[in-house]
Amino acid sequence: MRIIAVNGSPRKQWNTATLIGKALEGAASQGAETELIHLYDLTFKGCISCFACKLKGGKNYGRCAVDDSLTPLYARIREADGLILGSPIYLGDMTGLMRSFLERLVFPYLVYASDPQTLFPRRIPVAFIYTMGAPEEMTRQAGYDRSFSRNEMFMQRIFGPVQSLMSYDTLQFDDYSKYVAPRFDPKAKAERRKTVFPEDCRKAFDMGVRLAKPGA
């Protein structure tokens, strides 16, 4: 059992990375081998619409033809038994790098057909982890849930069962007095970090357990 996690945040030790780490701990507790990739360490672009992955009889049919830092990662994902995708929410959606990564991960396996088809060789579970500075009620009002549902739909169609964890109202700065952010209450943020974020960490751990041991 091999679980690969992809961190779509530029931060390697903050909210998203912490929750991904807990999920990997959960998977490892069930005997899974784990790997963490930081997208911001890689050099790549989004889909270039070359359609080589759709060319009949083409050598890259069902695979992304672009050769860059993502190529070896996509090869490892093809052999993985589970996938964790983590991203903070920027302007109502995942980070640009995570979106570009997903474009090139999903599109080669997507078949243009009226009935759902996938070229991915088997079914594997997928977990999304989202972190955001906004409170839960604001994300519903802004329609973030539609983005989350769309992401789940694509991943379920191509790869397999999907679960998602949303961590709301997260701590954005170590010291709010240094930044212009009058909308937020620093004391309330700090208190939530102490009381709610640990629960999110527990949920992430349990998510990793379920990913490595379906039915757990």
Q: What is residue 81's predicted lDDT score, i.e. its pLDDT?
A: 95
Q: What is residue 214's predicted lDDT score, i.e. its pLDDT?
A: 66
> If pLDDT is split at 50, 70 and 90, which confidence band does 193 have?
very high
Q: How far apart are CA 149 and CA 153, in angstroms?
A: 6
- In this predicted model, what pLDDT tens digit does every residue of 25-80 receive, in sequence order? 999 999 999 999 999 999 999 999 999 999 999 999 999 999 999 999 999 999 99
> If pLDDT is split at 50, 70 and 90, which confidence band does 146 have?
confident
Listed by start position, the domains of the chain span 2-212
CATH of domain 2-212: 3.40.50.360
pTM summary value: 0.92
Return the structure tokens found at 174: 């170590």
Model confidence at 215: pLDDT above 60: no
Model confidence at 216: pLDDT above 90: no
| Mean pLDDT along residues 150-175 | 93
